[in-house]
Amino acid sequence: MRIVIAGGHGRIALRLERLLAGRGDEVAGIVRRPEQAGDLLAAGAEPVVADLESASVGDLARHLEGADAAVFAAGAGPGSGVERKDTVDRGAAALFADAAEAAGVRRFVIVSSMGADREPPADTDPVFAAYLRAKGAADADVRARAGLDWTVLRPGRLTEDPGTGLVKLSAGSTGRGAVSRDDVAAVLAALLAEPGTAGRTLELIAGATPVEEAVRAAAG
């Protein structure tokens, strides 16, 4: 497969690139800064420099031509304010989905967040609340597109702990919990290889089920 990842220098994306390249897939990662290219090359991915906040649909569609799947793993990141949560976490996701449709790439996986399916509690930090709303709006946009075979993945609290390969993945609620970025990347890689998960919104936390088994069950 050829897979193009938006947010290619992110902590989940770099892990995913290593996994995909390791199994023989061709991977390209979209990054904003040229100096990030070396990290992608080290992960086995082709770096593509493009700014998701200013690129046109046509610009991104050219990078997606010939791809079998697209993954949106971009985010405004820590330290960004309310405005960039909207322009990146929502706006760039919609732009990337537009580009995937324009390039004829049907398989589309988006990394969302647990809690994106409801209004944040009143005492939520305003920036985090904006993030959750942006993620929820991006999910809704993608799920409304008949031109995409989409999967929405909503991980719980992300950690830097080593992956265990054991998760809880559910189209319902997993309950609150944490999950390592290693295991999120492993689940994403498995989702890309399992077309039966198209049309599913899945919550993910650490658990007791091997990744491949959990993804097969989610496709059933």
Q: Which whole number is the average pLDDT over 9-20? A: 98
Task: Calculate the average pLDDT of the chain.
Answer: 96
Q: What integer pLDDT is reported at residue 104 of this predicted model?
A: 98
| pLDDT value at residue 79 | 78
pTM: 0.95
Q: Report how far residue 130's alpha carbon sits from residue 85's, in angstroms, rounded to the nearest whole number.
A: 6
Catalytic residue, chosen from 131, 133, 148, 156, is 131
Q: Residue 62 pLDDT more than 90? A: yes
Residues 6+ apart with CB under 8 A from 186: 19, 163, 165, 211
The pLDDT assigned to 36 comes to 97
> Cα(45)–Cα(18) distance, rounded to whole angstroms?
8
What integer pLDDT is reported at residue 154 of this predicted model?
98
Per-residue pLDDT, 9: 97
Contact 205, 177 (CB under 8 A): yes
Q: Is 191 a catalytic residue?
A: no
- The span from the CA of 121 to the CA of 194, in Å, is 35
